[in-house]
Amino acid sequence: MIITVTLNAAIDKTLAVPSFRLGRRHRAVEQTSMAGGKGVNVARALKALGQPVIATGVAGGPTGTRIIEQLTDEAILNDFVRIREESRMSTAVVDPTSGEQTEINERGPAVSETELQLFVDKLLYLAKGAAICVFSGSLPRGVHSDLYSELIKELHRLGVTTVLDSEGEPLRLATWAAPSVVTPNEREAEELVGHEFADDEDRRTAIGEIAEMGASEAIMTLPDGCLALVGEEGDQAHPRRLFRATLEPLEPVSSIGSGDAFLAGYVAARYAGRADEDCLRFGVACGAESTQYFGAGVLDPREVERLMGEVSCEEEPALPLRR
């Protein structure tokens, strides 16, 4: 079983608004509303890819009830802790004329200490039957930045593989806790290592720095694929290697959540025991395929297989790692 954790679950509303401009009144030509939050998107894509997944996290108020009902309607297994404050709505405006996307995330609910303890107990219980746990997104108000870091250590004691996709302080602290995989996008990776990237040389160096901080595997998603340090140091059967996977970008319908689809693809392929290159190519194909739909985490597995043939994955020269 794969667990996805979403502590800032939401109802995601996506509106298509041609020629969107600030300060104007508009009419949406198309709209969707679905359960969201990064871990929920990952769970949706994993379900579409046929992998066993359970989505957990916290959800509150009428919006929380809608999130849980919509997940159940989609037949995505879920087990959320109910909290007192109301879960948030997130709105994305996609302009089909310019291709630009604007996202507005409401301030999420605060989580009390008692509610958080209920969640931690639930996660540790679910983890007894899980091989992989994916932590996605920001932390809610009222929760200390080291939560992911603490949970990663707990899950490692239970022998669970941990995957982390977050940003800022929670990402930095949790990277020190030696997660099995971290998957920042370029901007998040720049923030994590504390400098901007001018070229691929800088990106390769940063991947090494992230591994030195503690992550066993570091994957940086890029607009045209990913740069990934995978495998294990000192493991003859699964040596640590650096790869660059590339795909010619597609004309997107909406690229919101493509990072979540990438992550789901990578995790699904790993869970199925595929080789490193195939896991990365599959992840990139999933990220790309998900851009062809309005909803985050939505993809067609047959299209993913087709696109996978177009993803190249080359090994890059080894990095001089210090540890």
d(CA 239, CA 258): 28
State which residue has the least CB distance to ligand ATP: 259
Candidates 70-78, 143-151, 253-261, 312-320; binding stretch for Mg ion (CB under 5 A)? 253-261
Residue with tokens 């971290």: 182
Q: Would you count residue 108 as binding Mg ion (CB under 5 A)?
A: no
Q: Nearest distance from residue 257's CB to Mg ion, in Å?
A: 8
Candidates 6-14, 49-57, 255-263, 266-274; binding stretch for Mg ion (CB under 5 A)? 255-263
Query: 127 or 210: whose CB is closer to ligand ATP?
Result: 210
HEC per residue, 262-314:
HHHHHHHHHHCCCCHHHHHHHHHHHHHHHCCCCCCCCCCHHHHHHHHCCCEEE
Q: Would you count residue 259 as binding Mg ion (CB under 5 A)?
A: yes
CA 110 to the chain's CA centroid: 22
Query: 170 or 225: whose CB is closer to ligand ATP?
Result: 225
Residues near ligand ATP (CB under 6 A) are 185, 221-226, 247, 249-250, 252, 255-260, 262, 284, 287-288, 291
Query: 112 or 292: whose CB is closer to ligand ATP?
Result: 292
Tokens of 224: 């045209």
C-alpha separations of 217 from 33, 295, 321 in Å: 34, 29, 13
Q: Would you count residue 265 as binding Mg ion (CB under 5 A)?
A: no
d(CA 46, CA 39): 10
d(CA 70, CA 43): 13
Q: Which does 136 bind (CB under 5 to 8 A by kind): ligand ATP, Mg ion, none?
A: none
- Interface size with Mg ion, residues (CB under 5 A): 1
Q: Nearest distance from residue 270's CB to ligand ATP, in Å?
A: 16
d(CA 322, CA 212): 7
For residue 162, the cross-strand partners are 133
Q: Which does 225 bind (CB under 5 to 8 A by kind): Mg ion, ligand ATP, none?
A: ligand ATP
Q: Would you count residue 295 as binding Mg ion (CB under 5 A)?
A: no
Query: 85 or 289: whose CB is closer to ligand ATP?
Result: 289
Q: Nearest distance from residue 18's CB to ligand ATP, in Å?
A: 19
Query: 68 or 162: whose CB is closer to Mg ion?
Result: 162
Q: Nearest distance from residue 57's CB to ligand ATP, in Å?
A: 17
Q: Sheet containing 101-105: which strands, arranged edge to edge?
A: 30-36, 10-16, 88-94, 101-105
Q: Would you count residue 137 as binding Mg ion (CB under 5 A)?
A: no
Strand 132-136 and strand 101-105: pairing? Answer: unpaired
d(CA 35, CA 214): 33
Query: 170 or 259: whose CB is closer to Mg ion?
Result: 259
**Burial bucket for residue 278 (CB in 10 Å: 0-12, 13-18, 19+):** middle
Give the footprint of Mg ion on this chain (CB under 5 A): 259
